[in-house]
Chains A and B, each alone.
Chain A
Amino acid sequence: MNFASPAFWPPTTQEIVFLLLGVIAVGSAVLVVTTRQLVHAALWLVVSFGALAGGYLVLTAEFVAWVQILIYVGAIVVLLLFGIMLTRAPIGRSADLDSGNQIAALVVGVATAGVLVSVLVAGFRHAYMPLTPGAGAAKPLGSSIFRTWVLPFEALSVLLLAALIGAIVLSRTDIRGR
């Protein structure tokens, strides 16, 4: 699995594209957690997820990339926007989106980043992966899911059903707890 690791400089085109997408993803994620407008946060989330999907494509995981676009950008963000609407959140700028915990959160966040980055860099400094196109296409992935991972897949469908019922029970007002 370990291949002769080429030098970091000069970077390949794939690396440049990936890094650009990564910078976009991280930057828009930062905007998600700092913006003062609720709806903008959801929209920056779309950008971040989109950039990640691009990153998946560069990493040759095409199927995952499309699923990412479909479910995250198409479903989850829409759900979140519905949530924003239903909780009658202010649409414009609001000053109090951050709690008083900001400084502690910043410290913990930075510390997390420091620890993770230093550990990952230390651990995988010399790891290199050559990218083979088509490795993550729908066909190999589908056959893998429905052969090897079919049991977890079924369990997951039951979980999804339970979540569906749970969401209905929680959101309907005419079902009262005993």
Chain B
Amino acid sequence: MHVVYPAVISALLFSVGVYGVLARRNAILVLMSVELMLNAVNLNLVAFDVWLRDQLHGGQVLTLFVIVIAAAEVGLGLAIVLAVFRTRRTVDVDRLRDLAEPDFPQPSPNGQAKVRESS
């Protein structure tokens, strides 16, 4: 079998996962997209392991590890999503804007920036 086939499919799968992470609003859908990306990596690992005929089966073992880590990640991720949901009543990632600066310094007429008091 040509190596190009699994490689290209994994690349496409990865790109779809990237799109999902960037475009989806619901946090759970974002987690699903992350899983897609992880799977793309897994496919790559398996394909190259087979191609390289690794006696130690490093690629496939690592795939197993990745699956385990993915399980742990989904468990933790969902716990975080639930915690967010409990405090915010929403899991839409584009409405969680706490990373933004709290306020914008308005230029006053004499040219000096004045930071508004934030309560």
Q: Do any beta carbons of A and B sit within 8 angstroms of each other in the complex?
A: yes
Give A161's nearest chain B residue, CB to CB. Answer: B72
Whole-angstrom distance from the CB of B88 to the nearest CB of chain A? 11
Query: If the complex has contacts A33-B33, A135-B50, are A15 and B74 also in contact, measured as CB distance less than 8 A?
Result: no
Residues from chain A with Cβ under 8 Å of B57 in the complex: 136, 140-141, 144
The reply to whether A99 and B4 form a contact with Cβ atoms under 8 Å apart is: no
> Once bound together, how far apart are the Cα atoms of A130 and B47, in whole Å?
11
A residues in contact with B21, CB < 8 Å = 105
Q: How many residues of A contact B (CB 8 A)?
A: 92
Known A-B contacts A8-B2, A30-B16, A105-B22; the reply to A64 vs B29 at CB < 8 A is: no
CB of B63, distance to nearest CB on chain A (Å): 5
Chain A residues closer than 8 Å to B25, beta-carbon distance: 96-99
A 101-140 to B, binary, CB cutoff 8 A, 1 in contact else 0: 1101110111011001100110011011111000110001
Which interface class (under 10, 10 to 19, 20 to 34, 35 or more) fits B? 35 or more
CB neighbours (8 Å) of A117 from chain B are 8, 11-12
B80 at the interface (CB under 8 A from A): yes
Q: Given known contacts A38-B28, A141-B61, what 13 new A-B pairs fall within 8 Å (CB)?
A: A26-B9, A32-B20, A48-B36, A98-B23, A109-B22, A131-B1, A135-B50, A144-B61, A149-B58, A152-B65, A170-B82, A170-B83, A171-B82
Q: What is B's interface to A at a CB cutoff of 8 Å?
A: 1-9, 11-29, 31-33, 35-36, 39, 42-43, 46-47, 49-53, 56-58, 60-61, 63-65, 67-76, 78-83, 85-86, 91-94
